[in-house]
Amino acid sequence: MNMPYYRIMTRNSGFTLIEVMATLILLGLVTALSVQRFMPVDSFSTESAGSLTGSLGSIQGAYNAYVSDKNQPPAFGSDNNALGDSSFVPVYLFIPRPPKGFDSGYGISGFVLGQRSDHSTPNNGVYICAKAAGLTATSVPYRAILKSAAALSANKFFYNYNCPATSSLASDPSSASDVFVTCWIVRN
């Protein structure tokens, strides 16, 4: 019995589906790792600035909702941090994670929601603080602070050596070991 000519000449050549999939997965991993490694600091700082301003906004929004509902602010405890008030957290707010480069051990989960009344007007009021440590002029948190300052109101957002800051640093903050970011919700 003669087999058709085309049958004799055909040969299985090429790659199996598993080989193709394994190659694509490896290429994807290499690409993902190389893109992240060579991504400029500026894109990380933009991401951190967005995260910082978003976190400050969500804490402020939750605070305003609480005050609107209860006709009073949440309880500021002995540590002057309303994030410790269990009727406020997590009922009104799930505390956001601080952005990359910010101290997650500062305050409660990286933030302080405090009240200050011991300074003369206009520095009384309610504020949110976050802390960045070990800044350099090229570090992600330093650049994120500057981008957030540019994006937020100049009379509301400050960075300084203390919390709550009532004015921005006149000098370059990159030489400071710790810089505190203060976002005022209410300034009486």
Give which of 176, 131, 146, 179 is closest to 41, Cα–Cα.
Answer: 146
Query: What does the H/E/C string look like for 94-149?
Result: CCCCCCCCECCCCCECCEEEEEECCCCCCCCEEEEEEEEECCCCCCHHHHHHHHHH
Query: Number of structural domains, the chain?
Result: 1
Sheet holding 178-187, edge to edge: 112-116, 125-133, 178-187, 157-160
The predicted-structure confidence for 37-82, as pLDDT tens digits, reads as follows: 555 545 666 788 888 888 999 999 999 999 999 999 999 988 899 9
Partners of residue 128 on adjacent β-strands:
113, 183
Query: Residue 136: what pLDDT?
Result: 78
Distance separating alpha carbons of residues 61 and 66, to the nearest angstrom: 9
Query: Is there a domain that residue 34 lies in?
Result: no
**CB of 130 closer than 8 Å to CB of 111:** yes
In a domain, 118, yes or no: yes
The reply to whether 13 falls in a domain is no
With beta carbons less than 8 A apart as the criterion, state whether 79 and 69 touch.
no
Residue 4 is assigned to a structural domain of this protein: no
Sign of CA dihedral 159, 82, 104, 153: negative
Q: What is the pLDDT of residue 19?
A: 81
> Amino acid identity of 148?
S
Q: For position 43, what pLDDT does the model report?
A: 64
Residue 104 in any domain: the answer is yes
Per the domain annotation, does 68 fall within a domain? Answer: yes
Q: Which two tokens stand for residue 88?
A: 């406020």
Owning domain of residue 51 = 41-187
User: How many angstroms separate the CA atoms of 165 and 127, rounded?
Assistant: 9
Given this model, what pLDDT does residue 33 score?
A: 67
**pLDDT averaged per 10 residues, the chain (length 188):** 56 74 82 60 70 90 94 90 93 91 91 86 86 80 83 83 85 76 88
The DSSP secondary-structure symbol of 83 reads G
